[in-house]
Amino acid sequence: MAKIELQDWPAPLENGGETVLETMIANGVPFPYSCASGDCGACKGRLLCGEVAHDSAPEGILSAAERADGYVLACRCAPKGDIRIAALDELVALPPARRQRGWVVAQQRRRGDVIVLQIRPQQPVEFLAGQFFYLKFDNLPQRAYSVASLPGSEELEFHIRVVPDGKTSGYAARDDLLGSEAMVDGPHGHGYWRQNHDGPIVAIAGGTGLAPMLSIIGAALREDARRHIHLYYAAREEADVYWEAELQALVRQYPNLQVTCSLSRAQAPAQGPLPRRYERVTESLRQDWPDLADAKLYVAGPPRMVEAVAAVARELSLAPRDLHTDPFSDSVDHALDGALRTWVRRWLARWRRPPVALPQAATQES
Ligand code: FES
């Protein structure tokens, strides 16, 4: 048995060959993590002493330079002997997740095949801005959706993109949904707003990744209306911009809030109330932020976009502890791809190590 000493944790933990993250979870340590499969970087830590066997990880999530510097992903490594490790993020006990009934109290159709649902849970639920919930309708598979509401809200708001053959998203688009029952399970996830930070906030939302960013931005502005925040709303085309009027109203209310739409595939400049850029969001980030050293960066959207943003942010001097990601896919192909990748990685991990139960990774639709 190897021993894992975690900085700021009172007792060493015993490891029987499983990943560092699995040891943390099995011992009830509130070590930050999200995907448990090497795709988000939430479990990044620093090895202070000892050696680990580390599986491969996307360069954008854990770069070669970071690895050489001692950074590891707790979900992708296992100790080779006794180790000492530090979490990059705070060890915070998150609000407890629970499963309960809820009812659809509002439904709106938006551009870009997006359905906005409000669900009132049977009991008020405590959550942090930017977390996600699993929703289950009828006998359909449960899916993870980030919440757009502010903590303390009675209703939970979700932005759901309707995808071809998507069972859950197709159900969310039904005409007779008001009053329907849904099972709500949560909150989950570590892509939440960090309150103990005074610097600027840079929020990057890809598609319906806007939902958790609205929650984070709203909570941050509620606490300090003068906070400097720049939201990049990344979409492919004009028709994907589904929340413009509300963002415009926020910008009017809070002069320190900037919102930029970065459209990667738009053919011709179009007019809109919010400023447009006709480029990838990574280019917008580079142009506006030569140095991200004082900032907190929150990113939610497709895994490839999250990875690309993470790589650029590193070039712009963002410290690893200041990057908070929520990668997900709302397309059938991506969801299946992500689920398959996660399953294969977990199967390989189980094959070599004793099993420890991990929660399901967050994919939005299949
Ligand atoms: Fe380890 Fe996501 S990379 S939890």
Give the separation between CA 145 and CA 196, rounded to whole angstroms.
26
- Whether residues 74 and 23 share a domain: the answer is yes
- Whether residues 160 and 210 share a domain: the answer is no
Residue 290 Cα, ligand 1 centroid: separation in angstroms? 27
| Beta-bridge partners for 143 | 135
Ligand 1 binding pocket mutation candidate from 40, 66, 325, 326 (most atoms within 8 A of CB): 40
| 334 domain-assigned | no
- Whether residues 319 and 348 share a domain: the answer is no
Residue 195 near residue 223 (C-beta atoms within 8 A): yes
Give the separation between CA 110 and CA 236, rounded to whole angstroms.
16
CATH number at residue 302: 3.40.50.80
**For ligand 1, is residue 22 a contact (CB within 6 Å)?**
no
| 350 domain-assigned | yes
Domain boundary among 124, 156, 188: 188
Provide the domain limits for residue 237: 201-329
Residues recorded for the chain = 366
| 193 domain-assigned | no
Ligand 1 binding pocket mutation candidate from 22, 54, 73 (most atoms within 8 A of CB): 73
Residue 271 Cα, ligand 1 centroid: separation in angstroms? 39
The ligand 1 atom at the shortest distance from the C-alpha of residue 75 is 1
CATH number at residue 344: 3.10.20.30
> Can you give the pTM of this predicted structure?
0.84
User: pLDDT per position in the chain (366 positions), as tens?
Assistant: 999 999 989 999 999 999 999 999 999 999 988 888 888 888 999 999 999 999 999 888 899 999 999 999 999 999 999 999 999 988 888 999 999 999 999 999 999 999 999 999 999 999 999 999 999 999 999 999 999 999 999 999 999 999 988 899 999 999 989 999 999 999 998 889 999 999 999 999 999 999 999 999 999 999 999 999 999 999 999 999 999 999 999 999 999 999 999 999 877 676 778 899 999 999 999 999 999 999 999 999 998 999 899 999 999 999 988 999 888 765 433 343 344 444 434 433 333 333 333 444 444 653
CATH number at residue 160: 2.40.30.10
- Whether residues 106 and 122 share a domain: the answer is yes
Number of structural domains (the chain) is: 3
- Whether residues 323 and 206 share a domain: the answer is yes
- Whether residues 81 and 41 share a domain: the answer is yes
| 75 domain-assigned | yes
If one counts every other C-beta atom within 10 angstroms of the C-beta of residue 175, the result is: 7
| 260 domain-assigned | yes
